[in-house]
A = this chain, B = another copy of it.
Amino acid sequence: MSETIQLRIPGPTPLPEAVREATGRQMINHRGPEFARILSETVAGVRALLQTTHDVLLLSCSGSGGMEAAVVNLCSPGDEVIAAHAGVFGERFAAIADAYGLTIHHVSAPDGEALDPARIGEAFAAHPRAKTLFLTHNESSTGVTHDLRAIAETAHHHGALIAADCITSTAALNVPLDEWGIDVAVSASQKAWMAPPGLAMVAVSPRAWERTQTAALPRFYFDFAKYREAQAKGQTPATPTLPTLTGLHRALQMLIAEGLPAIIARHRAAAETCRADIGDLAERELRLFADPAHASDTITAVALPEGMDAARLLARLRDEYGVILAGGLGRQAGTIIRIGHLGHVTAADMDAVGAALRAVLETSPPGPLSFAAGQRRGGATSGR
């Protein structure tokens, strides 16, 4: 097995050495002055990369916890909401709203395609009581980036707030939250931020704060107001995930030194390399899963030929080449693989991934991993 591990899943992403060191530092008093400084600098750094002047709250939970926080701080029992989705993570947002008993009007697109802003507009027109839109900006289950700017315009045109899961888009793609008018944006430390998992970062607009005043869904741990109040004193409402915070703090120093334009260009270059490498494997019947017009610059989903054993492919990449990719989720399990190119990544890393993929496919012995016509299944919908 290769000595160099290429962890190229859609997150957690590899930590730079300096971030590892900061993550493993000794504990400090989370009510003391050093903590207050680290918290304040981290919030400032996140705010800069989110291109927002709004409040940024650091919640000790995964990104999914941040999505739940968006729901419970914006909505009241009985609310109607629009949930737009074209994959597992967008559907998760809807599932959270459903768990809280909200009435959900769904707008969906087929997996691999982008949401149509016009259809979201039609949903608002058909359901004028719906005043909140939930969606995932970059759908990492399919490798699609939706047109968040146009979708936000549509929501605002209908007088609604927009809460976006920007977990795998921020700090990698250009996501100017304030310019686009995103009311609640959720990110997570283990994605393009080059930090470990453990913190959700949530940006809250003044309009969203106003809504929280009347939003009556029950909340305690995820209550935005508690975080704002504590952060104003250099604290957090409960004990924060310190290793992730100190890791993120260090990673932000590196990211800010690099600068957002360079970060965006680096992700673009890695993504283009990844897509070109997969294109070069067309003779092996690998195929880019996402609509090319909306392909994500942070995650590439690759459709496998029918009959190819995804689990075995992933295991061989891991065990023989140290390349760790992700499988498909939900209804894509077994039929696609997913390559993460976000965070601490360059185009050269993607060439290494592409080379490993080619090597595995070319050395594949006869058997379930290799494509054979007799192993074709009936149709695309017969997958797991």
Contacts and interface: CB of A to CB of B under 8 A. Distances in A.
Contact of A26 (B14, B64, B100, B326): B14
This chain: how many copies in the complex?
2
Interface stretch (A41-49, A130-138, A233-241): A233-241
A318 interface: yes
23 contacts: A7-B26, A9-B29, A14-B26, A20-B24, A23-B24, A24-B243, A27-B196, A29-B326, A32-B324, A61-B61, A62-B221, A62-B240, A64-B237, A64-B238, A64-B239, A65-B238, A68-B221, A96-B221, A99-B218, A197-B240, A241-B241, A241-B244, A243-B243
Contacts of A64: 220-221, 237-239
Given A15-B27, A61-B61, A100-B218, 8 more contacts: A20-B25, A22-B24, A27-B196, A62-B238, A99-B218, A100-B220, A197-B240, A241-B244
A12 B239 contact: yes
Contact of A197 (B190, B237, B242, B327): B242
Contact of A198 (B100, B188, B243): B243
B198 A68 contact: no
Contacts of A100: 218, 220
Contacts of A29: 7, 9, 12, 324, 326
Contacts of A244: 198, 241, 243
A12 B246 CA distance: 14
Contacts of A15: 26-27
By CB atoms of chain B within 10 A, which of A12, A22, A318 has the most?
A12
A126 interface: no
A63 interface: yes
Contacts of A219: 99
A247 interface: yes
Nearest to A30: B12
A5 interface: yes
Instruction: Report the contact-size class of chain A (Cβ under 8 Å from the partner).
Output: 35 or more
A240 B63 CA distance: 10
A17 to B, nearest CB: 9
Interface residue SS majority, chain A: loop
A7 B27 contact: yes
A11 interface: yes
Interface in A320-373: 324, 326-327
Nearest to A10: B239
A324 B26 CA distance: 13
A28 B11 contact: no
A60 interface: yes
A21 interface: yes
Contacts of A32: 318, 324
B31 A13 contact: no
A74 B300 CA distance: 41
